[in-house]
Structure 1
Amino acid sequence: MSDAPPVNRSRLARVAVPLLAGLALAGCAAPAIPGVSVYSSREMVRIDPVQHCDVQLTECQDDESAVGVLEVPPGAPVQISVPVEVSETPWQVAFRYRLDGEVIDARSEVFAPHERLAYTLRLPDDSAQLEALEVQQFGAALVQDQNGVGFVTRGIWVLSVDDRDSLDS
């Protein structure tokens, strides 16, 4: 026979049931979606994704209200920091800016997995005004179109630029 004290089953149930329920809920909870940080002219904003899908793009979460806003003066560099979860996949920055009245869409190179956690966007001219940017994380799915094979976007973080100079003029 054992000298261990008898098990108080009702106390065990009161402790174990909430603990097991918490573990079950934690296992079912959606994984945390990483935020991206954008910095310019001594101001920083953390942006949640407007869209984020699992690696195979079978389950997605959308939040159109997640667009970040930051004041960026003409010609100012913009520093973008992504979390490890984004840097573990291919990603890039797409952006739109105005230069001499013309609106120009451009994008960075595609960064390979584990290549970098940050990127500094520098526009081609000091008078160029950034209007918006998107950090685009690519998933495992590929598509083929007339331009060749490409990745499908898994996550999108959007920044809209608040241009005080153009509002004041």
Structure 2
Amino acid sequence: MHRGLKPLLAVAGIALAAGCAAPSEPQVTFYSHGNSVTVNPAQYCDATGQNCVTPPENTVGDLRVPDRNPLQISVPGEVAAAPWQVVFIYRGLGGEQLDGRSQVFPPDSRHAYTLQLPPDGGRLEHVEVQKFSAVLTPGADGGVDFGIGGSWILNVQQ
């Protein structure tokens, strides 16, 4: 897996154990093969990484995405206004678990993304939209890492 994907997914998983979110928090819509699901944030903080919303218990969406089919993702203005990306876990053609990520989309550059598996991919399993915050931390290899200010999670059904 790419360095950092497991910890980010783990943070989102920990956040799932908390209470309720305000209904006004931005939602992300996932669409594939004629069906869609709208997902509340599993984690959502202001741009400084503070004032985080406690998520509801059922923040993980479920959607059927047939093997090798694309997944369309639509984000609202509150998400698109900040840098964001899509990280995902998939099964390779040989059955091995792999991961990938989109490029980081600059603020206000796009509200949608179509996820297509890389050529070595056979089946999508898990997707997370991540909105970056303005919080910077020292990177393990030098430089800086941006904090995740919001995440929306989808488990893919076959």
**Which residue in 2 is equivalent to 1:48?**
40
Matching residue's letter, 2:74: S
Aligned-residue offset at 1:31: 8.4
Q: Which residues of 2 match residues 18-167 of structure 1 at below 5 A?
A: 32-63=24-55, 64-99=57-92, 100-125=94-119, 128-147=122-141, 148-163=143-158
Distance in 2 between residues matched to 1:90 and 1:126, nearest whole Å? 27
Aligned-residue offset at 1:125: 3.5
Distance in 1 between residues matched to 2:28 and 2:131, nearest whole Å? 11
Flag structure 2 segments of 5+ consecutive residues without an equivalent. Answer: 1-21
Give the aligned CA root-mean-square deviation in angstroms.
1.6
- What TM-score does the superposition give when structure 2 sets the normalisation length? 0.80
User: Which consecutive segments of 4 or more residues in structure 1 shift more than 6 A?
Assistant: none
CA contact 1:75–1:126 (8 Å) conserved in 2 = no
Bigger radius of gyration among the two = 1
Bigger share in helix: 1
CA contact 1:139–1:154 (8 Å) conserved in 2 = yes
Aligned-residue sequence identity (percent) comes to: 48
- Deviations along 1:110-134, whole A, 9 cap, x unmatched? 0000110000000024861000000
Flag structure 1 segments of 5+ consecutive residues without an equivalent. Answer: 1-29, 164-169
- Kindly tell me the number of residue pairs found equivalent between the two proteins: 134
- Deviations along 1:28-71, whole A, 9 cap, x unmatched? xx682110000001111001001101111111123242100000
Q: 1:31 to 1:121 in 2, by over 3 A?
A: same
Aligned-residue offset at 1:159: 0.1
